[in-house]
Amino acid sequence: MFQLYIGHQNYSSWSLRPWILLKHFNIPFSQTVVAVSGKGANASHRGYADNGLVPCLHDDDFRVWDSMAICEYLAEQYPAMWPADRQLRARARSICAEMHSGFGGLRSQLPMNVRLRAKGIANSVEVDADLTRIFAIWRNARELAAQQNIAGNYLFGEFSIADAMYAPVVWRLFCYGVKIPADLQPYIDTMLSHPAMREWEAAAQAESARLPYDNLVEQFGGVRI
């Protein structure tokens, strides 16, 4: 059985991605939650993660680290994790790669904090640019799925790695009270109602760990629940 090492569920956006993928496809795994500081690689993690970061997947004694590498490793065993159509699969990989390497403004200025309930914030130019691009990505994915008459309310119809990679963005938009375009609200609602997203939220609410990110509650006038 797989073992997945993850960080605090309130904060670890990278950990959510392979976790929700395993959950959605009903793949048995055990999880170990470890303390994270939000400051990058930590020598204390190297006993179970070669790069000193989480998430890290153990397949018996073989380790795979980095969320995108873990997702690809799983997809080689469970091909349904990617869209079946070759071009949709390529587009899904493209937007996953863009998420993996980009959107620095969103990441730095709206760090994941599942417990946060802000009333809405004034976005910076960098965050607005990231949101504009993300919304365009989501619309394009939905349009491509519709063109091929693929049913389902996820980005490419059926849940895929693309949705797993953008799941932390959904939490950021929801928790910081970001205004969502009306045509994309159904996608947000679909993701937030996913049983694994609700399970992740419950675990985040139950955690006692607190990082400096929690001062955003006061900064943005929100409430922590």
Q: What is the CATH number of the domain that holds 43?
A: 3.40.30.10
Token representation of residue 23: 């959950």
**Domain termination residue (choose one: 19, 45, 79):** 79
Q: Does residue 132 share a domain with residue 43?
A: no
Q: Does residue 22 share a domain with residue 71?
A: yes
Backbone angles phi and psi of 114, in degrees to 5: -60, -30
Q: Does residue 204 share a domain with residue 143?
A: yes
Question: Which residues does 192 contact at the CB level (< 8 Å), separation at least 6?
Answer: 170, 174, 198
- Give the total number of structural domains in the chain: 2
Q: Does residue 168 share a domain with residue 191?
A: yes
Predicted TM-score (pTM) above 0.85: yes
Predicted pLDDT of residue 53 = 87
pLDDT in tens, 93-102: 999 999 999 9
Residue 225 has pLDDT above 90, yes or no: no
Q: Does residue 127 share a domain with residue 189?
A: yes
Q: Per DSSP, which regions of the chain are E strands?
A: 2-6, 29-33, 56-59, 62-65, 116-117, 223-224
Q: Does residue 90 share a domain with residue 38?
A: no
**Domain termination residue (choose one: 20, 51, 79):** 79
**Domain termination residue (choose one: 30, 49, 79):** 79
pLDDT in tens, 18-66: 999 999 999 999 999 987 765 555 666 677 787 888 999 999 999 999 9
Q: Does residue 75 share a domain with residue 111?
A: no
pLDDT greater at residue 119 or residue 64: 64
Residue 224 maps to a domain: no
* CB of 123 closer than 8 Å to CB of 50: no
Q: Does residue 171 share a domain with residue 70?
A: no
Confidence band of 123 (pLDDT split at 50, 70, 90): confident
Kindly report the CATH number assigned to the domain that includes residue 91.
1.20.1050.10
Structural domain range at position 48: 2-79
Residue 157 has pLDDT above 90, yes or no: yes
Comparing CA positions, the residue from 157, 163, 158 lying closest to residue 145 is 157
Residue 220 has pLDDT above 70, yes or no: no
Q: Does residue 209 share a domain with residue 102?
A: yes
Pairing of strands 56-59, 62-65: antiparallel
Residue 213 maps to a domain: yes
Q: Does residue 130 share a domain with residue 205?
A: yes
